[in-house]
Amino acid sequence: MTIPVVRFAPSPTGRIHIGNARTALFNWLFAKRHEGRFILRFDDTDLERSREEFAASIEIDLNWLGIAPDLTVRQSQRFGLYDAAAAKLKDAGLLYPCFETADELDRRRKRQIARGLPPVYDRASLALTDEDRTKLAAERRRPHWRFRLDHRTVEWTDLVRGASHIDCASLSDPVLIREDGTYLYTLPSVVDDIDLGVTHVIRGEDHVTNTAVQIQLFQSLGSPRAPVFGHHNLLATATGEGLSKRSGALSIGGLRDSGVESLAVAALAVLTGSSDSVHAVASLHDLMRQFDLSHVSRNAAKFDPAELTALSARTLHALPYESVRDRLAAHEIAGFRAEAFWLTVRGNLNAFSDAADWWRVVEGEIEPVIEDGGFAMTAAALMPDEPWDQKTWSVWTSAVKDKTGRKGRALFHPLRLALTGKEQGPELAALLPLIGRLKASARLCGHVS
């Protein structure tokens, strides 16, 4: 297989949501699995609606997910290429001016439907003579430009959907350039895919109908070979609702702020709607090894956002220290005890930020909860000398048991409350050596420590 070059091509007109992230991840995982390149392409030809702040937020969101583009391009800086391609198509008679107004087109479509005909553009403008055009120009009518489709069936082998075809005779010649001279998405996308050497176009199935047109454009622009296409199913909530960029529903930024793990978002996005069950993964690399576009189902990919919290917790519970070292350091959880600390507490975290509470238990000050002062003092007096290790807890609690006759919950629970100030938490056998003798005995004596 040639080394793939893929692109993720959002319009920076809003923040990206988990459905967009899914497309980005499919591209990223596919490229990296085959040691290929990932291009981030901002489809910002709509200068009115595109915003720099959205482009910046998309870069931040991708970065949070673990996606670092090999190249970033902006269509707004590439108009020269599109103009040259348009001129080439015009010279070849493949891009022709049309003068119908939106109202006229609408009336025609309605007439066609009333007669039981498909509402396909009738190419009336293609039949205009030079004289007609001069007259229209004199009336200051500005044309929009349509691509003249070859009325044949275009076939391709889709990476997700398998053998696919579209009969172009059933399509209207697509408008590539609007009356005001601005480009619709179709032409710039193909021009860039050619110029940047894109080998695989992986995108949502809402683009399937564009594919036949785009394949014809690749051929008309002299590209030796169109890319391989793969159209994945779209993500919808359990109630079947689609995700909208504008509504901000399940935006990546919102999910990040809610404290869920990026890896859980990635696993949910990638594994939902495929033949693989949704489960926690240890790293993006792990997800990459499991990922296969041909496992993506053709049915809608329904997911339950509530699953994310549980998946996020399960993800945290298995994260190795190396993958969280920097994030812990950002919470000032560092030093020679940091790794042992992480391995001790990770299984009890619902969100990463909970780690800071447990760091306070081992490093900072907490208010102990003393249920029975006499019992606590007896336990304090029986504490073994340091050094402490994982066995200290059982040695110590056996001694406390022998002395007080307590066992089970009556023995352990008051000790947990005194040592951590909390009802529940990580194994005390692992936590106790991290707390240390000094703090432990102070807490058993009821001191804030």
Question: Among candidates 375, 384, 438, which has minimal Cα distance to 403?
Answer: 375
Of the candidate residues 50, 57, 125, 189, the single one contacting ligand GLU (CB under 6 A): 189
Q: Which is nearer to ligand GLU, 233 or 315 (CB)?
A: 233
Does residue 9 belong to the site contacting ligand GLU (CB under 6 A)? yes
Residue 249, strand partner residues: none
For the window 77-96, what string marks contact with ligand GLU as x by the rule CB under 6 A? --------------------
Q: What distance in Å separates the CA atoms of residue 79 and residue 262, rounded to the nearest whole number?
A: 35
Q: Which is nearer to ligand GLU, 9 or 361 (CB)?
A: 9
Does residue 207 belong to the site contacting ligand GLU (CB under 6 A)? yes
Strands 175-177 vs 144-147: parallel, antiparallel or unpaired: antiparallel
Q: What distance in Å separates the CA atoms of residue 146 and residue 141, rounded to the nearest whole number?
A: 16
Specify whether the CB–CB gap between 209 and 171 falls below 8 A. yes
Does residue 251 belong to the site contacting ligand GLU (CB under 6 A)? no
Of residues 43-62, those binding ligand GLU (CB under 6 A) = 43
Binding-site residue total for ligand GLU (CB under 6 A)? 8
Q: How many residues would you count in the chain?
A: 449
Q: How far is CA 366 from the centre of its chain?
A: 39
CB contact burial 95-125 (16+ within 10 A = b; e otherwise): bbbbbbeeeebeebbeeeeeeeeeeebbeeb
Of residues 12-41, those binding ligand GLU (CB under 6 A) = none
Q: Which is nearer to ligand GLU, 62 or 355 (CB)?
A: 62
CB atoms within 10 A of CB 33: 15
Q: How far is the CB of 226 from ligand GLU (least distance, A)?
A: 13
Q: How far is CA 80 from the centre of its chain?
A: 32
Does residue 173 belong to the site contacting ligand GLU (CB under 6 A)? no
Q: Which is nearer to ligand GLU, 11 or 262 (CB)?
A: 11
Q: Which is nearer to ligand GLU, 9 or 435 (CB)?
A: 9
Q: What distance in Å separates the CA atoms of residue 69 and residue 39, rounded to the nearest whole number?
A: 6
Does residue 232 belong to the site contacting ligand GLU (CB under 6 A)? no
Q: Which is nearer to ligand GLU, 100 or 192 (CB)?
A: 192
Q: Which is nearer to ligand GLU, 201 or 319 (CB)?
A: 201
Q: How far is the CB of 264 from ligand GLU (least distance, A)?
A: 24
For ligand GLU, the binding residues (CB under 6 A) are 9-11, 43, 185, 189, 203, 207
